[in-house]
Amino acid sequence: MFVSDLHGSTNRYLKLASVIEEERPNAVFLGGDLLPNHWGATLAGRDFVGDFLAPEFRRLRSTLGAGYPRIFLIPGNDDDRSVEPSFFGGENDGLWSYLHERWDSIGSFPVLGYSCVPPTPFQLKDWERYDVSRYTDPGCVSPELGVRTVPVDPDVIRFGTIAGDLEHLATGHDFERAILLFHSPPYGTALDRAALDGRTVDHVPVDVHVGSIAVQRFIEKRQPLATLHGHIHEAPRITGTWRVMIGRTHCLTAAHDGPELAVVRFDLDDLDSATRELM
């Protein structure tokens, strides 16, 4: 199963827990924007990961026993990085695998996660990078500005790119059976189409495609088996599709702009049969 952009909704998480209990998947992927929106370490003054997310997965593990699935997760651009130690704490407790810039596997399928997105109009910059060069789209805020919840080397902020990160992560790895968990969708596809029609900034038209060029080029070059995406909630509604092919790669999104939880179900041996349900 794959879900994304739950944005701290306890209702969505409880729906997810219910469907996991009922269907017993082998693995569940969570594709970022997991916490309450923007600087979301707290929910009504509480630690969201420590007081809700970890206990809920702990309860699920207790209920399912040996049937507890592998859980893979990454943060998204709305998740403050100061919460990262709590994600590592859940990993140390065996609740999930924290995948940002890390490799893992499920059976014979390698799994890689990557959280960063190209510059957005939002102020939180913990998970933003320049994409393929030091360029910021009209209306967006540079990664060198905005707010960060943890200190970062200024040279990494100034010169780091998604393209550079991905090439570094790819070294020495075979992608034929790889599953890549991204927060950003690939640029110029049905999965990154934003509701920006007719929008201009200082008389400059705004691009309606807001995904990552680096992610798109990386998929074209490396041709993994499948990539999982979120971030652009409205894209499936605008384009009418939640999946595209880039070469041999199946690219799926679980982003959704309604109150429901979007659940993507897929079989790694038969990706053509993948489904998406709003719950």
Q: What percent of the chain has a predicted confidence (pLDDT) above 90?
A: 95
105 and 61 Cβ atoms separated by less than 8 Å: no
DSSP assignment of 106-165: ETTEEEEEE--B---SSSB-TTB-BSSSS---TT---TTSSB-SS---HHHHHH-BHHHH
- How far apart (Å, rounded) are the C-alpha atoms in residues 73 and 30? 5
Dihedral of CA 114/118/122/124: which sign? positive
pTM: predicted TM-score of the whole model, two decimal places: 0.96
Dihedral of CA 119/124/128/133: which sign? positive
Q: Which residue shows structure tokens 């490396």?
A: 222
Q: Among candidates 116, 130, 140, which has minimal Cα distance to 160? A: 130
| 273: pLDDT strictly greater than 80 | yes
∠ CA 81-170-99, rounded to 5°: 30
Please write the tens of the pLDDT for every residue from 199-231: 999 999 999 999 999 999 999 999 999 999 999
Please write the tens of the pLDDT for every residue from 44-74: 456 899 999 999 999 999 999 999 999 999 9
How much is the pLDDT for 43? Answer: 46
Work out whether strand 109-114 and strand 179-182 pair parallel, antiparallel, or are unpaired. Answer: parallel
List helix spans (H) across the chain.
10-23, 48, 54-64, 84-92, 154-159, 162-170, 213-222, 235-239
